[in-house]
């Protein structure tokens, strides 16, 4: 049985299956995707201790604020 190993893993959680997969991600990037990738990148860095406590708190609040702002129009529509 052949293993389905990823070509690469972005931010410790997003599997890529080929170089073309990167091109696909870049080609369909919209605001929702951009927000998702930024959040994953920040979480990845935070898990590795790259931020001070104050930086982590500010980033955490920023993510919650962005997520809440993005969800509100969907509920009303």
For residues 5-30, give the mean pLDDT. Answer: 91
Q: What is the pLDDT of residue 42?
A: 85
Is the pLDDT score of 69 beyond 70? no
pLDDT band at 31 (very low <50, low <70, confident <90, very high): confident
DSSP characters over the chain: ------SEEETTTEEE-SHHHHHHHHHT--HHHHHHHHHHHHHHHHHTT-S-HHHHHHHHHHHHHHHHHHHHHHHH-
pTM across the whole model: 0.66
């Amino acid at each position: 049985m052949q293993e389905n190993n990823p070509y690469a893993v972005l931010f410790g959680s997003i599997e890529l299956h080929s170089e073309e997969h990167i091109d696909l991600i870049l080609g369909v990037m919209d605001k929702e995707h951009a927000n998702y990738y930024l959040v994953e990148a920040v979480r990845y860095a935070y898990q590795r201790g790259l931020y001070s406590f104050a930086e982590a708190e500010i980033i955490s609040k920023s993510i919650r604020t962005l997520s809440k702002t993005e969800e509100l129009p969907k509920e009303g529509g």
